[in-house]
Structure 1
Amino acid sequence: MSLKPLTSEEEAVMRALGRLMLVLPRVLDADLEQGERMSLSEYSALRHLSEAEGRRLRMSDLAAACDMSLSGMTRLAGKLESLGYLQRRRCERDARGMDAVLTDAGLRRLEAAWPTHLESVRKRIFTHLEGLDMGTLARALEAMSCTKDRC
């Protein structure tokens, strides 16, 4: 098998993507913390619940959607529940698992944080992508994020 080295442009893209994967979540989180006193993980959980049918997801599905472990999601859900943003209820389908249910207060909190997050995303991402074909870029990024469990 003959290995073909990366071109200088490919190497630059690979290194930039590697840095981006580390830095982008931190700066988006910092912007939300500074503007809303809300973590990116909290925002993500509330957003996924707001988009789910009945504003309800099984805890394991919410953890997967947020790319968190179930134990990490359980801790986060406990915090969000103590703030009145979600409730944990027995799963209606099999009663073995727990569902996270977005409350009206949680939806209002998400809506209040949305402008800050939108401004952060525009500043941190889209100002750097002007002139690029967004459809092609989205498809390429989605293809790169495929795993054996998802795609």
Structure 2
Amino acid sequence: MKKQVRPSYQRAAFFVVLLSVIYAVIGNTFFQLAYRYSAAIDEAYIVFAITSAVYALPVILCFRRKYWYFALFIPVIWVPMLMITGYLMGAVFPLPEDDYGAGMLLLFIHGLNLAAVILGVALGLTVNAAIAAWRKFSRVQKG
């Protein structure tokens, strides 16, 4: 790999891992909130819409350039990060072992969060593509 290409490659890879960890922590925090407070589960779809938009913002800001496709790895790396952060949060905030409803809640919340991550990445990449197309179209019109 060329020396001048390496920093932007490493930067893009770093942002993929960082965003995956942040999204996993958000998902596990929402699971803990939904487990302890039923009001959080009543508004789950509003949280889904908000988190999808919030997840799109870093993708729009960090993946505009050459390595835009790295953002597609965020949902893939999010899964192991979800397991690691879930284990750590479970050690800090333990749940009772005999509560089987927590497993169903876990599947619902993390399924919803995975959909929000995928939608956020897709939305962010779509906005970036629209911005790039607009800039290119503007240059063609002026030149």
What TM-score do the two structures reach when normalised by structure 1?
0.32
Structure number with greater CO (CA < 8 Å, separation at least 6) is 2
Bigger proportion of residues as helix: 2
What TM-score do the two structures reach when normalised by structure 2?
0.33
Bigger proportion of residues as strand: 1
